[in-house]
Amino acid sequence: MKTFSIGGVHPHDSKISANAAIESFPIPEVAYISMGQHLGAPAEPIVAPGDKVKVGQLIANANGFISAPVHSSVSGTVKGIEIIKDLAGNPCKAVVIEVEGDEWVETIDRSEEIAREIKLDSKEIIEKIKECGVVGLGGATFPTNVKLSPPPGKKAEFLIINGAECEPYLTSDYRVLLEMPEQVLIGAAIMMKALNVTQGFVGIEENKPEAIRIMTEKAKAYPQIKIVSLKKKYPQGGEKQLIDAVVGRKVPSMGLPIDTGAVVQNVGTALAVYEAVQKNKPLFEGIMTITGECCPQQKNYKHRVGTPLSKMIESVGGVPEAAAKAISGGPMMGKAIANLDAPTLKGSSSVLFLTEEQTKRQPESNCIRCGKCIEACPMGLEPYLLNKLAKAGRMDDLEAGKIYDCIECGCCLYTCPAYIPLLDNIRLAKANVMKIMRSRPKK
Amino acid sequence: MKKLLVSPSPHIHGKDNTKSLMRDVVIALLPTVAVSIYCFGLSALKLALVGVLACVAVEYVIAKFMLKTKVTICDYSAVITGLLLALNVPINTPWWVVVIGSIVAIGVAKMTFGGLGQNLFNPALVGRVFLLISFPVIMTDWSTPESTFGFAFDGVSGATPLGIVKEGLAQGMTLSQIYAEHNFSYAQMLFTRIGSAGEISAIALLLGFVYLLVRRVIRPHITLSIWGTVFVFSGILWLCNPEQFTDPIFNLLTGGMLLGSIFMATDYVTSPMEPKGMVIFGIGIGIITILIREFGAYPEGISFAILIMNATVPLINMFCKPKRFGKEAK
Amino acid sequence: MSTTIIFTVASLSVLGLLLAVVLYFVAQKFKVEEDPRIDIVEAIMPGANCGGCGQAGCRAFAEACTKADNLDSLFCPVGGNATMKKVADALGFEVAEKAPMVAVVRCNGTCENRPKTNVYDGAVSCAVKAALYSGDTGCKYGCVGCGDCVKACNFGALSMDPATGLPVVDEEKCAACGACVKACPKAVIELRNKGPKGRRVFVSCVSQDKGAVARKACKAACIGCGKCAKVCPFEAIKVENNVAYIDFNKCKLCTKCVAECPTGAIHKVNFPVKPAAPAAPAAPAAEKPAENNNNQEK
């Protein structure tokens, strides 16, 4: 069974929402469509208060190379362009739309039929993906079209679809693989055509046997795409780890996946690409898991981007009594939600409720130098040392310790028996070190 | 409305914590303690209790009244130090000697450096070596206690196999003569022989080792590299002159080799943190142990070997870096 | 026996002599020419090596002083005017007196004024907390209360007040080195003129939120209403980004603004307690500090 070579941890699976089929979440009365839904520069709104918009209509343009346009997820009247608070409580610009009916842009193909034939050529596909505002849905929300256009001198050799979903609790990718396997495969085939590669892989962890079975079955029609079953280990879904696990190549330090000839895309992204290219449907919907042991209902929702999180939480009976923390994303890398009124984004994958017992941090004690953080680090770093250096502010030594290679997976803090907030300090120091590195004149 | 917690990721934690890891080490030592009680009777239990209580009390007093820091006696680390110290001294050691050892172990070797996680040398070993040098007679009196219940020992008394060999060689005897005179057998070495409470049963110690590995408390690198080095190094010497140097199996099973390599050398705080470093550390201990045993003045050398290698740990940690991800490309 | 001793002593003496000669010539050859005045100036310095002057340490500062044409741009905040006077005398410079400074915490966000909206559970570090999110209150500009400034202070002049959750500056100990200013991720702490008899007036809020939002998050926030700017006879107050700021070089300590401020965001400290403006809404709070030994009026 394949897996990545260094480190990793084995958190409990907890995929308790795995059997909940995807349901459409009702359209909200007011949608708050954030302009910062992707990595890079926020989009620039092109609508004005009072404008009538339809579902799928472009409401904001990409603002720079690494940016993505934003489309309306609802139909109605633009109430205004307001500063709202995102889930961390920080202000961000959003287009607020009062919903009236559900009128879609005519060009979107809303039929259920699966469109198998790929009519567009490589350039047109990338252009289409860009127009439709597709971004990576694995967490980083990096604009997909940029990822599908390797920089000059670099050549893609294969595409890897990330179906690992190694984070505990999350099941949105799993449900997509079960319910829309062929769409994902077509999406993969489209991206392979765009990249001009002939080899594709779908990496799925072994704890999802049903998904592996269905995908293997459907992939028979796509001989270029291989389904790879992976050993369950976190952080298998990390780009670098996944490439290592699936094809055994290692992304060099400071390098990009393309340096190994690999392009990695998430299952959700493949579906979005399929919808954009074959159905002409911009990215304005997403699949979200609402879960947690303390949560009375487990749900997988298809939501319109811009739906307030609080609406979705209400549908399962509000914040559960026992919940101490609400997390957007998985328990290992997700963000704690400080503002439950924040709207959903393209990249929202879940709302997870954890009880105090599950999530409350224990008081920190002395480092006993057990080396468990070193054993767990998937990048082969020394978190205990980086933490010490970070506290002492020794930037040169941090750089020598390759702190910039940290993928912030959280394995070190997860495993630390002394409950030292290793990643908290390392993450901050990494940002500072990278700032220093970027400010240096390029040789 | 209830206020939710907010923190950076990750939001969950593994099941291991300092306390549970230390508790596992105590559990792994229990078979050895049980065997020592079975063989030596209540005096073994008394030693263990004195060691544990003294260490915990010393740590409590120092943390509470001298350093005025958080008292950490609940994390079992002092319990381990006390147990190891008690298992390391002859069964007839008076209780006050163990208390002195505990004061040195916790007070000098651990708390002066800043408590758990800060010490350079293994506290239990510092305590033991202090006693060995300060009370040489008491610390080498291996006679069995009178209150022994269970069973009596056959043949040897008053000295450990290593001591007998050292003395015999010093008198100009060859090994085969010594073996013949004292009726040594490997089976005898695996279970029940003369020595400190922690040395008498190889099987109990190995049981503890397996438990630690299964619970993923320690990694096997240090222990296995010590065994491998001892086996190879003493094997070479033995092949050169089997009448002068003891054979590898004898070296692995006698003295504090197992207790030291499984429980003392693998102490988190005083051992390297990275596999390559662990192997270097283990090799160093193996070589120094055999050098002391075969050429030195003391019959047993693992305590000194571990302490000497403890001093090199910061250096080893500095030079042995883990294998970085993606280093080899460009 | 005696020959051995004599021989040993003699050979060692010869060896020592030889090496001494070698060392002398080597020392001459590789001698580093250093301005002897550096040592003199360094001896005058307080020796805290805090970096408050902008140099790497006291010796670096001494070196900079000896190289400089005048001392206008060099100032040791820890030693203050007295030290700079001595340095100037030693180097033959003229030095203008500078007003002594003190660190000022510009946040009113006590537990009472600024209710918590969530509970922070990460590493106890302002930098980590500020990088993570907007904070555990409705105000994203104010003090986050993890005490990075306290850790940064080399002089023990800062401490967290457990009652308010805000740092408190001990004016006696504060050397105005600016370490806390650098450590604060929210730029809440500012170095201000200590003022005559330590009297000074400042806006104790940095919230750039609009009035209603700021007020909702914190009862004593500056709402940017501009009343203080209008009442100020010396044009010392400016309102920018919804927050007022008092220029301490222009402020004449008339304290009219303190009385005018509707939320009590403007503080005056070290004024005699008696003439505290009775009309000011901040008055009830203003009576408290008399018995407080940190003598800061709130």
Residue A364 belongs to some domain of the structure: no
Residues B65 and B96 in one domain: yes
Residues A142 and A274 in one domain: yes
Query: Helices B18-40 and B42-61: crossing angle, nearest 10°?
Result: 150
Residues A126 and A275 in one domain: yes
- Chain B residue numbers with beta carbons less than 8 Å from the beta carbon of A240 are 325-326
CA distances to A368, A401, A421, B101 from A429, in Å: 22, 12, 13, 43
Residue C206 belongs to some domain of the structure: yes
CB-based contact, B152 to chain A, within 8 Å: no
From CA A359, how far away is CA B4, in angstroms rounded? 11
Provide the domain count of chain C.
2
Contact between residue B66 and residue B112 where contact means Cβ atoms under 8 Å apart: no
Contact between residue A148 and residue A52 where contact means Cβ atoms under 8 Å apart: no
Q: Looking at residue A100, what is its pLDDT?
A: 92
Which chain C residue has the Cα nearest residue B1? Answer: C117
From CA B276, how far away is CA A375, in angstroms rounded? 12
Q: Looking at residue A246, what is its pLDDT?
A: 94
CB-based contact, A338 to chain C, within 8 Å: yes
Residue A377 belongs to some domain of the structure: yes
Residues C68 and C136 in one domain: no
Provide the domain count of chain B.
2
Residue A301 belongs to some domain of the structure: no
Q: How far is B64 from chain C (nearest CA, A)?
A: 24
Residues B255 and B300 in one domain: yes
Residues C141 and C54 in one domain: no
Domain's final residue, options A279, A312, A342: A279
Longest dimension (CA), chain C: 100
Domain's final residue, options C63, C91, C119: C91
pLDDT band at B185 (very low <50, low <70, confident <90, very high): low
> For testing the chain A interface, which of B2, B4, B6, B11 should be mutated: the one with the most A CBs within 10 Å?
B11
Residues B169 and B300 in one domain: yes
Tell me, what CATH number does C173's domain have? 3.30.70.20
Nearest to C133 among A89, A424, A428 (CB): A89
Question: Which amino acid makes up residue B317?
Answer: N
From CA A423, how far away is CA C125, in angstroms rounded? 13
- Residue corresponding to tokens 């500095």: B318
Residue B9 belongs to some domain of the structure: no
Residue B233 belongs to some domain of the structure: yes
Residue C30 belongs to some domain of the structure: no
Which chain A residue has the Cα nearest residue C151? Answer: A391
CA distances to B129, B168, C61, C62 from C81, in Å: 59, 81, 15, 15
From CA A243, how far away is CA A251, in angstroms rounded? 8
Residue A40 belongs to some domain of the structure: no
- Chain B residue numbers with beta carbons less than 8 Å from the beta carbon of C132 are 6-8
Q: What is the DSSP string of C102-123?
A: EEEE-----TTTS-BSSEE-S-
Residue A84 belongs to some domain of the structure: no
Say yes or no for a CB contact (<8 Å) between A378 and B325: yes
Residue C180 belongs to some domain of the structure: yes
Domain encompassing residue B101:
18-139
In the beta sheet, which residues pair with residue C45?
none
Residues C151 and C72 in one domain: no
Q: How far is A257 from chain B (nearest CA, A)?
A: 11
Residues A274 and A380 in one domain: no
Contact between residue B74 and residue B59 where contact means Cβ atoms under 8 Å apart: no
Q: Looking at residue A75, what is its pLDDT?
A: 94
Residues B245 and B300 in one domain: yes
From CA A353, how far away is CA A329, in angstroms rounded? 10
Q: How far is A354 from chain B (nearest CA, A)?
A: 8
pLDDT 10s per residue in chain C (298 long)?
688 899 999 999 999 999 999 999 999 888 888 888 888 888 888 888 888 888 888 888 888 888 888 887 888 888 888 888 888 888 888 887 888 889 999 999 888 899 989 999 999 999 999 999 998 888 889 999 999 999 999 889 999 999 888 999 998 888 888 889 999 999 999 999 888 888 889 999 999 988 888 988 999 999 999 999 999 998 899 998 999 999 988 888 888 899 889 999 999 888 887 644 444 444 344 343 333 444 444 3
- Model confidence pLDDT, tens digit, residues A25-80: 999 999 999 998 888 899 999 999 999 999 999 999 998 888 999 999 999 999 99
Residue C273 belongs to some domain of the structure: yes
Q: Other C-beta atoms within 10 Å of A122: how many?
A: 15
Whether the CA torsion B141, B146, B147, B148 is positive or negative: it is: positive
- Average pLDDT on A280-296 reads 93
**Interfacial C residues in 98-127 facing B (CB < 8 Å):** 116-123
Contact between residue B212 and residue B268 where contact means Cβ atoms under 8 Å apart: no
Residues B171 and B301 in one domain: yes
Alpha helices for B74-135 (secondary structure H): 77-88, 95-102, 123-134
Does the pLDDT of residue A327 top 80, yes or no? yes
Residue A4 belongs to some domain of the structure: no
Q: Looking at residue A44, what is its pLDDT?
A: 93
**Which chains border A (3 or more CB–CB pairs < 8 Å)?**
B, C
Please give the distance of CA A331 from its chain centroid, rounded to a whole number: 13
% of chain A residues with pLDDT over 90: 83
- Chain B residue numbers with beta carbons less than 8 Å from the beta carbon of C133 are 6
Two structure tokens written together for B73: 């006696």
Residues B310 and B181 in one domain: yes
Residues C45 and C188 in one domain: no
- Chain A residue numbers with beta carbons less than 8 Å from the beta carbon of B2 are 319
From CA C3, how far away is CA C165, in angstroms rounded? 79
- Chain B residue numbers with beta carbons less than 8 Å from the beta carbon of C119 are 3-6
Say yes or no for a CB contact (<8 Å) between C118 and B8: no
Q: Looking at residue C2, what is its pLDDT?
A: 81
From CA C203, how far away is CA C201, in angstroms rounded? 7
Nearest to B321 by CA among A299, A53, A380: A380
Two structure tokens written together for A321: 């009594």
Residues C120 and C86 in one domain: no
Q: Other C-beta atoms within 10 Å of C129: how many?
A: 26
Nearest to C158 by CA among C125, C131, C181: C181
From CA A331, how far away is CA A410, in angstroms rounded? 10
Residues B51 and B91 in one domain: yes
Average pLDDT of chain A is: 92
Non-local (6+) Cβ contacts of B288 within 8 A are B301, B304, B305, B308, B309
Query: Helices A267-279 and A122-131: crossing angle, nearest 10°?
Result: 100
Contact between residue A379 and residue A412 where contact means Cβ atoms under 8 Å apart: no
Contact between residue B306 and residue B222 where contact means Cβ atoms under 8 Å apart: no
**Interfacial A residues in 42-101 facing B (CB < 8 Å):** none
From CA A308, how far away is CA A84, in angstroms rounded? 11
CB-based contact, B324 to chain C, within 8 Å: no
From CA C78, how far away is CA C155, in angstroms rounded? 10
Q: Looking at residue B192, what is its pLDDT?
A: 55
pLDDT band at B156 (very low <50, low <70, confident <90, very high): very low
Say yes or no for a CB contact (<8 Å) between B6 and C118: yes
Give ∠ CA B5-B10-B11 in degrees, rounded to 5: 35
Nearest to B7 among C116, C117, C120 (CB): C120
Non-local (6+) Cβ contacts of C291 within 8 A are none
Residues B113 and B249 in one domain: no
Provide the domain count of chain A.
2
Non-local (6+) Cβ contacts of A438 within 8 A are none
Domain's final residue, options A221, A250, A279: A279
Say yes or no for a CB contact (<8 Å) between A338 and C127: no
Domain's final residue, options A279, A305, A338: A279
What is this model's ipTM?
Answer: 0.89
Tell me, what CATH number does A178's domain have? 3.40.50.11540
Two structure tokens written together for B108: 């000098």
Q: Is the peptide bond before A235 cis (omega within 30 degrees of 0)?
A: yes
Residues A139 and A252 in one domain: yes
Contact pairs from chain B to chain C, CB under 8 Å: 26
From CA B26, how far away is CA B9, in angstroms rounded? 32
Residue C236, helix vs strand vs coil: coil
Nearest to A350 by CA among A366, A360, A335, A369: A335
Residues A389 and A262 in one domain: no
Nearest to B117 by CA among B267, B242, B319: B267
Residue A304, helix vs strand vs coil: strand
Residue A217 belongs to some domain of the structure: yes
Residues C152 and C240 in one domain: yes
- Model confidence pLDDT, tens digit, residues A214-266: 999 999 999 999 999 999 999 999 999 999 999 999 999 888 899 999 999 99
Residue B324 belongs to some domain of the structure: no
> For testing the chain A interface, which of C119, C120, C121, C136 should be mutated: the one with the most A CBs within 10 Å?
C121
Say yes or no for a CB contact (<8 Å) between C122 and B7: yes
Q: What's the order of all strands across the beta sheet hosting A70-71?
A: A44-45, A58-61, A70-71
Domain encompassing residue A400:
372-439
Residues C61 and C193 in one domain: no
CB-based contact, C213 to chain A, within 8 Å: no
Residue C162, helix vs strand vs coil: coil
Beta strands at A158-163 and A199-205: parallel, antiparallel or unpaired: parallel
Residues B124 and B224 in one domain: no
Tell me, what CATH number does C49's domain have? 1.10.15
Domain encompassing residue C198:
101-290
Two structure tokens written together for A214: 């269905």
Contact pairs from chain A to chain C, CB under 8 Å: 41
Residues C85 and C218 in one domain: no
Nearest to C195 by CA among C244, C159, C246: C246
Residues A133 and A254 in one domain: yes
Q: What is the DSSP string of A325-339?
A: EEEES-TTTPEEPS-
Residues A269 and A402 in one domain: no
From CA B73, how far away is CA B86, in angstroms rounded? 18
Residue B178, helix vs strand vs coil: helix
Residue B52 belongs to some domain of the structure: yes
Phi/psi for C191 (5° steps) reads -90, 125
- Residue corresponding to tokens 């923390």: A325
Nearest to A375 by CA among B279, B316, B270, B216: B216
Residues A126 and A273 in one domain: yes
DSSP classification of residue A97: E
Say yes or no for a CB contact (<8 Å) between A431 and C131: yes
Residues B98 and B233 in one domain: no
Q: Regarding predicted confidence, which is higher, B57 or B182?
A: B57
Does the pLDDT of residue B146 top 80, yes or no? no
Q: Looking at residue B149, what is its pLDDT?
A: 46
Does the pLDDT of residue B1 top 90, yes or no? no
- Residue corresponding to tokens 């958080």: B70
Two structure tokens written together for A418: 């002394």
Contact between residue A370 and residue B273 where contact means Cβ atoms under 8 Å apart: yes
Domain's final residue, options C53, C69, C91: C91
Q: How far is B91 from chain A (nearest CA, A)?
A: 31
Residue A371, helix vs strand vs coil: coil
Residues B306 and B235 in one domain: yes
Q: Looking at residue C274, what is its pLDDT?
A: 60
Q: Looking at residue C239, what is its pLDDT?
A: 92
**Interfacial A residues in 330-349 facing B (CB < 8 Å):** 331-338, 340
Average pLDDT of chain B is: 86
Beta strands at A323-328 and C243-246: parallel, antiparallel or unpaired: unpaired
Does the pLDDT of residue A396 top 60, yes or no? yes
pLDDT band at A423 (very low <50, low <70, confident <90, very high): very high
Q: Looking at residue C100, what is its pLDDT?
A: 84
- Chain A residue numbers with beta carbons less than 8 Å from the beta carbon of C131 are 427-428, 431
Where are any strands of DSSP class E within A349-395? 350-355
Q: Looking at residue B136, what is its pLDDT?
A: 87
Residue A14 belongs to some domain of the structure: no
CA distances to C104, C167, C181, C205 from C193, in Å: 9, 19, 14, 17
Residues C119 and C236 in one domain: yes
Residues B186 and B121 in one domain: no
